Amino acid sequence: MSINLFDLTGKVALITGAVHGLGMAMAKGLGNAGATIVVNNNSIEKLDEAVAEYKAAGLKSFGYVFDVTDEKSVIEAITKIETEVGPIDILVNNAGIIKRTPIVDMEVVDFEAVIKVDLVGPFIVSKNVAKGMIQRGGGKIINICSMMSELGRDSVSAYAAAKGGLKMLTKNMATEWAKYNIQTNGIGPGYFATSQTAPIRVNGHPFNDFIISRTPAGRWGNPDDLQGAAIFLSSKASDFVNGHVIYVDGGILATIGKPSNE
């Protein structure tokens, strides 16, 4: 008999906002490891397309329309999901937005909008999913952090504040919930080739060469590079791992970098 520590068969995973990009890649990873995938989005059209894509890939998947920043709809959706699909074993707080504006030009409402989706959203969804996990005796929560949980960058102040906050929220969730057998951890993606980074990556944008030279692995991440960390933190293999952020970054945080002419 062999035991597969990474097997997610029979588990229900809610991955917020997993209708494209990194969220979708991680959700497919969890699905391929055996989990049933539940995704949400604000609009039904994108959600239907995403669920169709998961199904075409042979994965069991369900979509629910709700906004992670609206606690009333989050509570209603969790009740529906747990009745219709099953108790949520794994929560991945992936939904997020970014606004690139220098601080002096940024409107307060825009700063607040980013904090609301990227930091308050994970608080609201985790709070309400964890209540059930506590009753059932355990679960897995993964907060999607960022390089900006550790580093600043021109024009992304609200995003960096939110993602830095999300790293600390991860530690606080681990502090409060580890005793209930809930493992809360984060994944911090480095720079990945997605639609979010397209504006700073394509059409000869200077940031493209900068990132390639700043990344010891010498390339942008491919969304599938995140699957291993997502499966690990969702599975029995991480049952005594609490409050960490795994940076999947090709080594960016390991190094100060080097002059561009070397």
Under the binding rule (CB under 6 A), the answer on residue 19 touching ligand GCO is no
Query: If you ran DSSP here, which 8-state letter would residue 82 be given?
Result: H
- Residue 183's nearest CA partner among 121, 119, 126, 124 is 126
By beta-carbon proximity to ligand GCO, the closer residue of 98 and 124 is: 98
Query: x/- site string to Ca ion, residues 29 to 58, per CB under 5 A?
Result: ------------------------------
Structure token digits, residue 39: 């995704």
Under the binding rule (CB under 6 A), the answer on residue 153 touching ligand GCO is yes
Structure token digits, residue 185: 């951890």
Q: Which among 10-18, 121-129, 187-195, 232-240 is the span making contact with ligand GCO, rule CB under 6 A?
A: 187-195
Under the binding rule (CB under 6 A), the answer on residue 191 touching ligand GCO is yes
**What distance in Å separates the CA atoms of residue 129 and residue 81, rounded to the nearest whole number?**
11
Report the DSSP beta bridge partners of residue 65. 41
Query: x/- site string to ligand GCO, residues 193 to 212, per CB under 6 A?
Result: ---xx--x------------
Contact 133, 178 (CB under 8 A): no
Helix axes 157-177, 108-115, angle to 10 degrees: 30
From the candidates 159, 180, 191, 247, which is the catalytic residue? 159
**What distance in Å separates the CA atoms of residue 71 and residue 1, rounded to the nearest whole number?**
45
Restricting to residues 5-24, name those near Ca ion by CB under 5 A: 10
How many Cβ atoms from other residues are within 10 Å of residue 46's Cβ? 16
**What distance in Å separates the CA atoms of residue 71 and residue 78, rounded to the nearest whole number?**
10
Under the binding rule (CB under 6 A), the answer on residue 100 touching ligand GCO is yes
- Which of 86, 101, 115, 196 lies at the binding interface for Ca ion (CB under 5 A)? 86
Whether 180 is catalytic: no
In the bound complex, what is the minimum distance in angstroms from residue 137's beta carbon to Ca ion? 13
Q: Which does 86 bind (CB under 5 to 8 A by kind): ligand GCO, Ca ion, none?
A: Ca ion
As separate numbers, helices (DSSP H) first and strands (DSSP E) second, the chain gives: 8, 7
Under the binding rule (CB under 6 A), the answer on residue 98 touching ligand GCO is yes
Under the binding rule (CB under 6 A), the answer on residue 119 touching ligand GCO is no
CA torsion angle 92 239 245 38 (round to 10) = -10
Q: What is the largest CA-CA distance in the chain?
A: 62
In the bound complex, what is the minimum distance in angstroms from residue 194's beta carbon to ligand GCO? 8
In the bound complex, what is the minimum distance in angstroms from residue 36's beta carbon to Ca ion? 8
Under the binding rule (CB under 6 A), the answer on residue 93 touching ligand GCO is no
* Contacts with Ca ion, residue ranges (CB under 5 A): 10, 86
* Residues noted as catalytic: 159
* Contacts with ligand GCO, residue ranges (CB under 6 A): 98, 100, 146-148, 153, 156, 189-191, 196-197, 200
